Amino acid sequence: MSQNNETPVRLVQIQPLKRTSAEAAASATSDAAEMLQLPTLTDWDIFWKKAYIGWRKVIGFTYTKHSYGATRRWLLAQVLPDKILYRWKPYQRGGCNRCGLCCKIVFRCPFFYENGETTACLIYKSEKHWPSACVAFPVDPYDLSEVQREVAPAPCPFHFEGQPEHPTIWGAVKAELRSELGKRVDKLKEAFNF
State the residues that interact with ligand SF4 by CB under 6 A.
13-14, 96-103, 109, 111-112, 121, 123-124, 131, 134, 151, 156-157
Q: What is d(CA 160, CA 142) in angstroms, rounded to the nearest whole number?
A: 11
Nearest distance in Å: CB 23, ligand SF4 = 22
- In whole angstroms, the minimum distance from the beta carbon of 74 to ligand SF4 comes to 10
Nearer to ligand SF4, 56 or 166 (CB): 56
- Least distance CB 11 / ligand SF4 (angstroms): 10
Q: Shortest gap between Cβ of 175 and ligand SF4 (angstroms)?
A: 28
DSSP string, 12-61: -SS--EETT-HHHHHS-HHHHHHHS-PPP--HHHHHHHHHHHHHHHHHHT
Smaller CB separation from ligand SF4, 80 or 123: 123
Instruction: Give the bridge partners for 121, in sequence order.
Output: 112
The answer to whether 4 and 103 are in contact (CB under 8 A) is: no
Query: Measured from the CB atom, is 112 or 142 closer to ligand SF4?
Result: 112
- Nearer CB in complex with ligand SF4: 114/176: 114
DSSP 122-156: SSTT-TTT--HHHHH-S-SHHHHHHHHHHHTTS--
Instruction: Measure the CA–CA gap between 121 and 14, rounded to whole angstroms.
Output: 5
**Cα separation, 183 vs 34, whole angstroms:** 46
Cβ atoms of residues 130 and 178 within 8 Å: no
Residue 148 vs 172, nearer CB to ligand SF4? 148
CB of 172 to ligand SF4, least distance (A): 23
Which residue's CB is nearer to ligand SF4, number 83 or number 108? Answer: 108
Q: State in angstroms the smallest separation of the CB of 157 from ligand SF4.
A: 6
Q: Please count the CA atoms within 13 angstroms of the CA of 104 that sit on its side-chain side.
A: 13
